[in-house]
Amino acid sequence: MTPTSLTDLLGKSILSEDLKAFMKKFDLPTNPKRQLDYQGNSYDTESENKKLGIYLEFNGYKRYRLEYGEPIIILDTTNDELILNEITIDNEFLKNKKASVVELPFGLLLGDDQGTVLQKLGKKPYEKSPNSYGFCWWTQFDEFRILTALSPQSNLIWVRIMKHTLDEKEKIQLKKYLSLQNKNIKPEFVGRILAFSDKLPTAEWRKRKADGDDIFTDKGINEVEQLLTKYLQTLTAFTEQKKASNIYNSIKKIVTALNKINDKNASFIDTMEREELCDFINNIVRTTGLVIEDSIDLTEEWREW
């Protein structure tokens, strides 16, 4: 069976008929060398044909199931069967100007200008950013997200398609139905939000600095403390207004602000500080009444620390 799109292959076993046919057609190793975690489970295992610019990434069933849920097709759960979670098509178009040998999803063609890419995808990217190769555009769909890499001249040069994890799908649903969560926001919880001013992680940072931890500076601690204090006031206002979308959108703003502070202060946010900040932000956002799965780290999407 020939799939109608590369996206149809995501979530399928390496032993499935259509994925086997695809790999055979483009001379991709069907028994790639597995990368194993400390428990012996397969993850981030690659099968590639560099000459054609085709790169597949698999996770073993045990890790795939935990991160992505049950696969679309699996034949033998006892052998940690490889399941496809990512596809990259990159034939070094800038260098050779050759069309992809693989039919890209949505009718995309390497060399398409940005307007054509937008038209073919049928929706705007949720994220755009400059990169070493030009520009990075991420566009989101129900089951996967697609990276369209653009040259400095804004032409399509390579494509990556990634299966959504369970957490990512939960966030998509959360954002999609934020307006329905206005009823969950509790203005009577404002006092609980403001009480977090006594739980700022910076208090512990000052103690560790006094004990000789030279990762900290007074400037960095003060900037974070001022930011978090101001954020409590912001959340208080949005909670009183019962605005779920404003509460959710505020997370990106504070995380990106923390990214900048960390960059300016020698990247002092290390493992312990990261956990403390994540706990603080996740807890106060949930205190507003916003209903979010406990497993979701709301900061992960934007943080660089």
Same domain, 283 and 172: yes
Residue at which a domain ends, from 89, 109, 134: 89
CA distance 118 to 126: 12
CA distance 209 to 212: 5
Average pLDDT over residues 171-189: 92
1 pLDDT more than 50: no
Provide the number of structural domains found in the chain. 3
Same domain, 194 and 243: yes
Same domain, 66 and 119: no
Same domain, 262 and 209: yes
Q: How confident is the model at residue 179 (pLDDT cuts 50, 70, 90)?
A: confident
Which residues sit opposite 150 in a β-bridge? 135, 156
Same domain, 221 and 123: no
- Residue 79: predicted pLDDT: 87
- Residue 230: predicted pLDDT: 97
* Segments forming the whole domain that contains residue 50: 1-89
**74 phi and psi, to 5 degrees?**
-145, 145
304 domain residue, yes or no = no
117 pLDDT more than 80: yes
295 domain residue, yes or no = no
2 pLDDT more than 90: no
Residue at which a domain ends, from 163, 197, 216: 163
What is the average pLDDT value for the chain, to the nearest integer? 94
297 domain residue, yes or no = no
Is the distance from CB of 57 to CB of 14 less than 8 angstroms? Answer: no
CA angle 41/46/50 to nearest 5° reads 170
CA distance 66 to 41: 12
Q: What 3-state class would DSSP assign to 265?
A: coil
98 pLDDT more than 80: yes
Q: CATH number for the domain including 133?
A: 3.30.1450
298 domain residue, yes or no = no
**pLDDT tens digit sequence for 239-277:** 999 999 999 999 999 999 999 999 999 999 999 999 999
- Residue 4: predicted pLDDT: 55
Q: How confident is the model at residue 176 (pLDDT cuts 50, 70, 90)?
A: confident
301 domain residue, yes or no = no
CA distance 141 to 168: 11
Same domain, 270 and 183: yes
Same domain, 26 and 107: no
Closest by CA to 157, choosing from 93, 235, 102, is 93
Is the distance from CB of 82 to CB of 67 less than 8 angstroms? Answer: no
299 domain residue, yes or no = no
Same domain, 251 and 190: yes
CA distance 87 to 46: 10
Global pTM reads 0.76
Percentage of the chain exceeding pLDDT 70: 99
Distances from the Cα of 270 to the Cαs of 134, 265, 278, in angstroms?
30, 12, 12
Average pLDDT over residues 44-68: 97
Same domain, 234 and 192: yes
17 domain residue, yes or no = yes
Same domain, 59 and 30: yes
* Residues 264-271: contacts with CB under 8 Å, at least 24 apart: 264/220, 264/223, 265/217, 265/219, 265/220, 265/223, 266/215, 266/217, 266/220, 267/305, 268/215, 268/216, 268/217, 268/220, 269/305, 270/215
Same domain, 105 and 140: yes
Average pLDDT over residues 23-47: 96
CA distance 212 to 184: 44
Quick one: which H or E segment has residue 49? strand 45-49
Same domain, 201 and 253: yes
Residue at which a domain ends, from 112, 132, 163: 163
